Amino acid sequence: MSLPSIAAARHFDATLHVPFLIGEERVGWIRAFDVASLTRWPNIFVVDETAVRLHPSLNDVDARTAALHDVIDTLAQQGKIPGWRNETYAIRNDFQAAPLAFIERAASRFFGTMTYAVHLNGIVKYRDGAPRLWIARRSDTKSVDPGRLDNVVAGGIGWGMDIEPTLVKECWEEAGMPAELASTATPGGTLHVLQMIPEGTQAEQLFVYDIELPNDFTPQNQDGEVGEHRLARIEDVARWIEEGEFTVDATLATLDCLLRHRWIDEEACEGIAALYTPPSL
């Protein structure tokens, strides 16, 4: 069975975008209809029919960051970059690579630059052998996917943070989970998303983790980003995935968990295998 979220994770049409380059490296995708808004900065962008290039005179991280900051601030004031987060993301095509520039998190989708996130599946195993998952519902005030179902913990990885420290931080903020418990999480799969979204392009690498939670643990949100938590049977989780109740990212992270634990058949996740490999464009 083909699930809508699996198809959505690679719903991307390169012909509707132009590549965004720093030097000779493509670092993002910009929607074709957004390109015109960048031509007012000829000292920052070199624009032609084939690409948007950061001006070669901006030849170090500090210069690129300063130039992009002014652009991003203006675009945000014009409403072209919504959901300002006051978080710094690095422009880099590999999580371990040196940054080429730093930008506001919200701008990463306008420029289609690579981002990184961690997702945690909260597993509870009862004596009857029937596993359950803690599921979060995103706050209705979230700028992205308000009110949709999500993993018990999920968050973007900002500059200066590694994967597991981000996981520990998000575990407290989103679920009130102490660091001692959060540090028992174990890594699962790594998935790659490239999809067109209202804000632009989501190019994201998802690091999936699992954690076995005590039967008496109940998540308690601390930062207002989660509307509620619910403890759900696997069959209910599978049904919500099929009905499209989860975010695309959470769908993939949850399916990764269900497949690894053999709580769902591979036939129910047709197409997911391709998402463990970065898209080739």
Q: Which amino acid is at 72?
A: I
Domain ranges of the chain: 14-114, 115-276
Q: If you average pLDDT over residues 231-257, what whole number do you get?
A: 95
CA 185 remoteness from chain centre: 19
| CATH architecture assigned to 14-114 | 2-Layer Sandwich (3.30)
**Residue 129 confidence (pLDDT) above 80:** no
* Cβ atoms of residues 149 and 137 within 8 Å: yes
φ, ψ at 36 (rounded to 5°): -60, -30
Is the pTM here over 0.85, yes or no?
yes
φ, ψ at 123 (rounded to 5°): -105, 135
- What pLDDT score does 1 carry? 54
- What pLDDT score does 141 carry? 85
CA dist., res. 229 & res. 56, Å (int): 49
Report the percent of the chain where pLDDT is more than 90: 88
In 42-161, at which residue ranges do the beta strands (DSSP E only) sit? 45-47, 52-54, 88-91, 101-104, 114-125, 131-138, 149-151, 153-156
The CATH superfamily label for domain 115-276 reads Nucleoside Triphosphate Pyrophosphohydrolase (3.90.79.10)
Closest CA to 167 of 181, 178, 155, 176: 155
* Cβ atoms of residues 204 and 193 within 8 Å: yes
